[in-house]
Amino acid sequence: MKAGFNIEDAVRKRYSVRNYSDREIGLDTRKEIEEFIGTLDNPFGNNIDFHFLDGDEMKGQQKLGTYGVIKGAKQYIGTTIKLDDMALLALGYEFEALVLYLAHMDIGTCWLGGTFDRKGFAEAMNVKEGELFPVITPYGYAAEKKHIKEKAMRKVINADKRKSWKELFFSDDFNTPLKEEDAGELAFPLEMVRQGPSASNKQPWRIVLSDKDAHFYEDREPGYSDRFPYDIQRVDMGIAAAHFDLAAKEKGITGHFDTKADPGIQLPENMEYVFSWIRD
Ligand SMILES: Cc1cc2nc3c(=O)[nH]c(=O)nc-3n(C[C@H](O)[C@H](O)[C@H](O)COP(=O)(O)O)c2cc1C
């Protein structure tokens, strides 16, 4: 898909909003959001179902918890998928495209994979047996100030920081860091990946450029995903794919994704090949 809005602006504007104002999203805007969701697709093929939870459905749902992390939110969007190898990538891609679209509309969001009452929301959204319900986001206008717990949380996970180029991007192998000035026109899509959100801000994406193709790896943290029914860092990899793809398309750089183009280079411990972006 092509975004239809300025990617860099949206990427730079987006941050996790955990305190929401009373101002509700109007019906027209809600319709625009639904229409945008209707245009979503992803390079990994799987179908993602989006669910809205707002208005009347939220009445009587006061018990729906986010453990005090999110305040003031009245509207949520969740997703369901059938779990397989590609589904978490597809989910990360489409959900992040939506998050960026909402940022472009000045609407705040916060990816939630852990700090919400999964069972309560699943019931409220009529999630069916056999479907995996991995993430949810509140959406709405940000309150003027961040709440105290929100500020503390951002501090603990260093939410305003990102890893440097030399920690994330490499040339031909994992021993040779890629310099920004050597990345050519791919410097922009790479920088957009670097700015992306990730679970606990762990930024597990690593990218090796080789012959102008980009190979994406997951630096999986041992034990981190044990408390989830799936590998949540795989979702982060889908986010990286979205940022890279939308940024490349905006600049007219053409390529396609391939999950079977593993160049077979030697990997550091805990590193896993996930997919490649092959220049056309
Ligand atoms: C897959 C995923 C899951 C996340 N789960 C949570 C969560 O459960 N609770 C929360 O408060 N933030 C969650 N976050 C938000 C991250 O902590 C946040 O994106 C990161 O710290 C960077 O901060 P920023 O989004 O403000 O740039 C999640 C983010 C991602 C991508």
Judged by average pLDDT, the poorest of 108-122, 181-195, 207-221 is 108-122
Distance 109 CA to ligand 1 centre (A): 10
State the average pLDDT over residues 27-43: 96
In this prediction, what percent of the chain has a pLDDT beyond 70? Answer: 96
User: Does this chain's domain 7-153 share its CATH topology with 165-279?
Assistant: yes
Judged against a pLDDT cut of 80, whether residue 122 lies above it is answered with yes
Q: Could you please state the CATH topology (level 3) that the domain comprising 165-279 is classified under.
A: NADH Oxidase (3.40.109)
Measured at the alpha carbon of residue 86, what is the angle toward residues 83 and 90, in degrees to the nearest 5?
95
**What's the residue count for the chain?**
280
Please report the atom of ligand 1 found closest to the CA of residue 153.
11
Kindly write down the DSSP assignment for every residue of 176-238, as one continuous string: SBPPGGGSGGGHHHHHHHHT---GGG---EEEEEETTEEEEEEEPPTTGGGGSSS-HHHHHHH
Q: 201: which residues sit within 8 A by CB, 6+ positions away?
A: 157, 158, 159, 161
The pick from 11, 200, 225, 232 for probing ligand 1's pocket by mutation, whose C-beta has the most ligand atoms within 8 angstroms, reads: 200
Residue nearest (by alpha carbon) to ligand 1 atom 13: 112
Tell me if the pTM is above 0.85.
Answer: yes
Distance 239 CA to ligand 1 centre (A): 12
Give the pLDDT confidence of 195-212 residue by residue, as tens digits. 999 999 999 999 999 988
Residue 216 has phi, psi (to 5 degrees) of -105, 130
Which residues sit opposite 209 in a β-bridge?
A: 171, 214
The edge-to-edge listing of strands for the beta sheet with 136-140 is: 49-53, 76-80, 136-140, 108-109
Distance 201 CA to ligand 1 centre (A): 6
Distance 154 CA to ligand 1 centre (A): 9
Q: Does domain 7-153 have CATH number 3.40.109.10?
A: yes
What CA–CA distances, in Å, run from 217 to 77, 79, 259, 264, 265?
28, 25, 11, 12, 11
Please report the atom of ligand 1 found closest to the CA of residue 134.
1
Token pair listed for 255: 């390529």
- Residue 48's identity, in one-letter code, is I
Distance 263 CA to ligand 1 centre (A): 31
Helix (H) or strand (E) holding 90: helix 87-104
Residues having CB closer than 6 A to ligand 1 are 15-16, 69, 110-115, 135, 157, 159, 197-201, 232, 235-236, 239
Which residues sit opposite 80 in a β-bridge?
A: 49
What CA–CA distances, in Å, run from 163 to 191, 194, 196?
11, 7, 11
Distance 219 CA to ligand 1 centre (A): 17
Judged against a pLDDT cut of 70, whether residue 56 lies above it is answered with no
